[in-house]
């Protein structure tokens, strides 16, 4: 009687493992996609475009020489503090 009970539990565990493996491989092969409505999609596109334009504007105004000078000064200050 005990042997049948143990074999039953082992069989159930094997079936559960097989089901979990099937779910795992199914989820791995089909990644989850988020579907947005058109209004949300256009709002996201507008936001991305505005961020892109903002970054491009900042890059145009970015002075590499000034940044290098500031960086060197901060490194020198940190070295002095050591």
Q: Look up the domain containing 40 and give its range.
A: 2-81
Note whether 36 and 44 are within 8 A (CB): yes
**Statement: residue 81 has pLDDT above 90:** no
As a whole number, the mean pLDDT across the chain is: 87
Identify the pLDDT of residue 17: 96
Element (H, E) at 26: helix 2-29
**Statement: residue 34 has pLDDT above 70:** no
Average pLDDT over residues 49-56: 92
**Statement: residue 66 has pLDDT above 90:** no
Q: Report residue 34: phi and psi, to 5°.
A: -95, 130
Q: What is this structure's pTM? A: 0.40
**Statement: residue 50 has pLDDT above 90:** yes
Q: How many domains does the chain have?
A: 1
């Amino acid at each position: 009687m005990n042997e049948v009970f143990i074999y039953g539990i082992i069989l159930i565990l094997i079936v559960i493992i097989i089901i979990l493996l099937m779910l795992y491989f199914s989820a791995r092969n089909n990644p989850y996609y988020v579907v947005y409505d058109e209004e949300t999609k256009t709002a996201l596109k507008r936001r991305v475009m505005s961020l892109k334009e903002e970054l491009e504007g900042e890059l145009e105004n970015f002075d590499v020489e000034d940044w290098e000078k500031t960086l060197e000064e901060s490194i020198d200050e940190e070295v002095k503090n050591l």
